[in-house]
Structure 1
Amino acid sequence: MSGFQGGLDLTQDVISYVALGDSFTEGLNDPAPEDSGASRGRFRGWADRLAEHLAERVPEVRYANLAVRGKLIRQIVGDQLPRAIELHPDLVTICAGGNDILRPGGDPDQVAAIFEAAVARLAATGATVVVFTGFDTGFQPVMRHLRGKIATYNMHLRAIADQYGCPVVDLWSMRVLQDRRAWSADRLHLSSEGHRRLTLRVCEVLGVPAEGDWRQPWPDEQPLHWRAARQEDLHWAREYLVPWIGRRLTGRSSGDGLAPKRPNLERLR
């Protein structure tokens, strides 16, 4: 099988969708609307939003989100993959390996080998398996040095997607996300608007009609004065960078002790 042909079949009466991954797929930092019925403090994110778009086109959508923040690819494959296969969904999205690449010594070749084995198992179920590349971090001063490793990993991901006939959401080419307004205060996770635009891109890849254009230019914005920008950088380093480094050094994860927000295929209301 080579290359993804066509879109998702929206003529079905029921579509089941399972999302696998880490904080990116869990939906940090996109708070769920208060009137959505979600538990307090839960995040929404692009995967929830995708399920909502599907529900506008298909009579019944059953959705599970197994993603947990901070998880490494071996944890995703060990904990989430068996459950996804057990649920036997029509659609699977998998974005994994980013946390491995961010860590010192993270080898994109080794991570890609694990990712390929996971995609092979998912594709064997007959599901449509959506693969995501990594972001281009060239615009982020702290993450810029990882650009080469991410590019290498992305080449592996594209080859894997081609081999197993997977649609690809190319985050690297989404220049619209290289605006600071696409990112939350921690500079590691998308903002609500970033998640909204990404959802539109995923819908485009899958052939799901959705209103809006993810490429729409951002409104003009006055650049920050250098003093204000410096203060923002210092605040970010104190509130987000230092704790993140501390977790890496101590082997802790932001997802320790957390369960998936939607562990079962449930009808989207």
Structure 2
Amino acid sequence: MPDVLRLVCTGDSFTEGMSDVLRPDGHHTGWADRVAVALAVHERRRSGRGVEYANLAVRGKLLDQVVAEQLPAAMRFEPDVLTFHAGPNDVLRRGTGLADLAARYDAAVADAAQAAGERVVLFTAIGRAGHPGRLADHLADRFARFNDVVREVAARHGATLVDMGRVPALTDRRVWHVDRLHLAPEGHTRVAAMVLEALGVTDEDLLGGASGWWREPLPVAAAVPRHAQLASDVRWAREHLAPWVGRRLRGVSSGDDRDPKDPSPRPVDVPT
């Protein structure tokens, strides 16, 4: 067994870590950072080997961009564990054909499977952030179809699947940031626990609770008056939806000219 386990994470804003708490360097922490630290403790206890971690994900990236810009670097790093999350930004775009996206996703995972020494980790998408409405229903249907593709591809290539799309607790608004596009710290904490369990970690102190705790619903919330809900929707549309639509119309992305937060593998310190 090598003396280092190398974890390399690829993808979009979900893997970059938006909108978790900030690290000292100003980058978001995210589920991947949390997994890297817990894995470092787990490996030290189990085998004595260290963990190296790179996070190549950049917000706003489409599937083809992740494949072209991140996977080649990830392969050069010869990861033991490679996480791959791409496609949801494509699903959000009206002109994306899901059949074509499925074929490209399958080809990307086939390449990734050849690069990872121990395993490739894939993710279904969370199709709804607790919001009703016709548009939300339409997007939930598209994400459900995409998730079926991810499950089939994971089975075909022997990948480890983190099936977020089948965890109702992750659709609770309280695990989401106010932008309704990115997870809040509670969401990243739950996803990290899911990933760690999928990688075989069982220690409750590393998972943050008993096995499967991330499935548990949040405490029942107080009812929100209708007028407050409407005000929240108007504020969200003005502060988050309008800028997102504006970027689409201009053909720009929030990730343009951004570099990955951890572009090469670095040793992960074990907390004392």
What is the TM-score with the length of structure 2 in the denominator? 0.89
Equivalent position of 2:47 in the other structure = none
Aligned to 2:20: 30
Which of 87, 94, 99 matches 2:84?
A: 94
Which of 113, 127, 131 lines up with 1:123 in the alignment?
113
For the aligned residue pairs, the C-alpha RMSD in angstroms reads 1.5
Structure 1 residue 75 corresponds to structure 2 residue 68: no
Name structure 2 gaps, 5 residues minimum.
45-49
CA distance in 2, matches of 1:147, 1:230: 21
Post-superposition CA distance 1:127-173 (Å, at most 9, x none) = 31011012132843343212222222212211111111001111111
Is 1:39 matched up with 2:25? yes
Does the CA-based 8 Å contact 2:126-2:171 persist in structure 1? no
Find runs of 4+ consecutive structure 1 residues off by over 4 angstroms: none
Residue identity in the other structure for 1:156: V
Say whether residues 1:191 and 2:180 are aligned partners: no
Residues 1:211 and 2:208 aligned together: yes
Residue number among 122, 135, 143 corresponding to 2:126 in the alignment: 135
Instruction: Please give the secondary structure, in 1, of the residue aligned with 2:53.
Output: strand
**Map of 2:143 onto structure 1:** 150
Determine if contact 2:129/2:170 at 8 Å carries over to the other structure: no
Of the structure 1 ranges 207-216 and 23-32, higher mean CA displacement relative to structure 2 is found in 207-216
Report the AA paired with residue 44 of structure 1.
Answer: T
1:138/1:147 contact within 8 Å kept: no
Is 2:194 the counterpart of 1:201? yes
Structure 2 partner of 1:229 = 229
Report the TM-score when normalising by structure 1.
Answer: 0.90
Greater displacement, 96-105 / 202-211 = 202-211
What whole-Å deviation, never above 9, does each CA across 1:197-250 have from its counterpart, x for those lacking one?
111111122211223121233123211111111111110000000000111111
> Contact conserved, 1:63 with 1:265, CA < 8 A, in 2?
yes
What stretches of structure 1 of length at least 5 have no aligned partner?
A: 1-10
Tell me the distance in 1 between the aligned counterparts of 2:94 and 2:116: 36
In structure 1, the residue matched to 2:241 is: 241
Q: Percent identity?
A: 44
Which residue of the partner structure matches residue 95 of structure 2? 105
Is contact 2:82-2:116 (8 Å) kept? no
Aligned residues: 254
Structure 1 pair 222–67 and aligned structure 2 pair: CA distance change class (3 A)? same
Is it true that 1:56 corresponds to 2:41 in the alignment?
A: yes
Letter in 2 for 1:246: G
